[in-house]
Structure 1
Amino acid sequence: MNDRERGIRIAIVDDQALVRTGFRMVLEAEPDFEVVGEAGDGAFAIELARATAIDVMLMDVRMPGVDGIAATEAVTAVERGPRVIVLTTFDLDEYAFAAIRSGASGFLLKDVRPQELTAAIRTVHAGEATLAPRITRRMIELFADDLPAQEGAPSARSTRLSVLTPREREILVAIAEGLNNAELAARFHLSESTVKTHVGRILQKLDARDRVHLVILAYEHGLLSPERPAR
């Protein structure tokens, strides 16, 4: 059975067994989902990612011992490892932000509706992010002080972005402002398929995981400051 024929393989990481059971019930009701493992702490989550073929891992950020931030960093470093969706109780949780900085593809609140959870997993499995870029932008605005210092690095930052064409740079800024593909198409008078091509090239050129990573890169490279007003 090839990757297209088999279901999306999911692991659930949370220190509360009841939470894991609830998520498992929701996920196993989907015909294209397969729950292939559970972990009650970050250390076991890392071992699970190394030993099991997993597509998407749901990761609680607040756990005793190895927390979800450290676990996310280790899990996303595993060769052919899973994409990570971090789970949090509070919207704009600084722990969730740190986990995204560590490699997660987005975050969800633990009280997420079942249809939103399943849609997010499918979105991440397809290589996109689980949250609207405008939400990521708001997180970065709130926790801008956590961004790494860039003293003495402008030339290095410029060199990395120099691989982008002027149009790709414009699109990167627009992504950081929170525009989705349809909105990008309208702003730049392009078809959505052309927008997808541009976004794919930007991801490849900047070696970015997904659109969430692009938003963070845009802030880190000074393309959009936290003080810039929302659109």
Structure 2
Amino acid sequence: SADLEQNKLLFQLSDSLEKIEWSFNRVIGCDGSASILRKSIVEKADIQYVKKPLGHGYKELTIPPMKSGKFQIEPNALHIWPRGNHMLIALPNNDYSFTCTLFFPMIGNTSFETVKTEKDIFDLFQSQFPDAIELMPNLVKDFQNNPTGDLASVYCKPWHFGDKALLIGDAAHAVVPFFGQGMNASFQDCSTLEKLMDQNKNNWETIFNAFSSTQVKNGHAIADMALENYLEMRDHV
């Protein structure tokens, strides 16, 4: 948790019940799309905030290497199976496998909610991705055992609280992954913040204000473009 009145952070170690309290003068939060610091800022300040679920989730599957140790399909390409309201993609790995990601509705008649059994899975892939089945000998095991992730976009404004707290990265602007710029946007946060720190020395309120003024519009634009590109990839490729 983050106490913005007492300037204290409370951490709980993941492998025990031990809790650690840490005092701060100011804190920069890059604690991801489920940011605890953002939650505290929203509760404390009058900021605009909305987290928009995509309504679709994702599940990672695998195309293993051939028995000879080579790629089963062309590695120097982005493989996309667009199917209107869902899609499958495959990206190559250094071990000659491919990581496949199924982007699929979370709920509905044909969705992660309803596709559960071995028959459900084979029926889905035989009707939608028949050429992928023979490449995926562990399809059912991967589908049933790998977690289903959800997808959402975060919009908030501003990204700071006085001179005490600042959000960067996914904590400020989590996006869906279809524009390929989420990590770059976070790197840009760091470079912009560094420049503002050099220009304004220890005037943290000015630094944080300028950062929000500069970066918020960029974060919202990336979120919108990522959503637009999902429609492009699944419907128009």
TM-score (normalizing by structure 1): 0.25
Instruction: Looking at secondary structure, tell me which structure has more strand per residue.
Output: 2
* Structure having the higher Rg: 2
Q: Which has the higher contact order (CA 8 A, sep 6+)?
A: 2
Instruction: Looking at secondary structure, tell me which structure has more helix per residue.
Output: 1
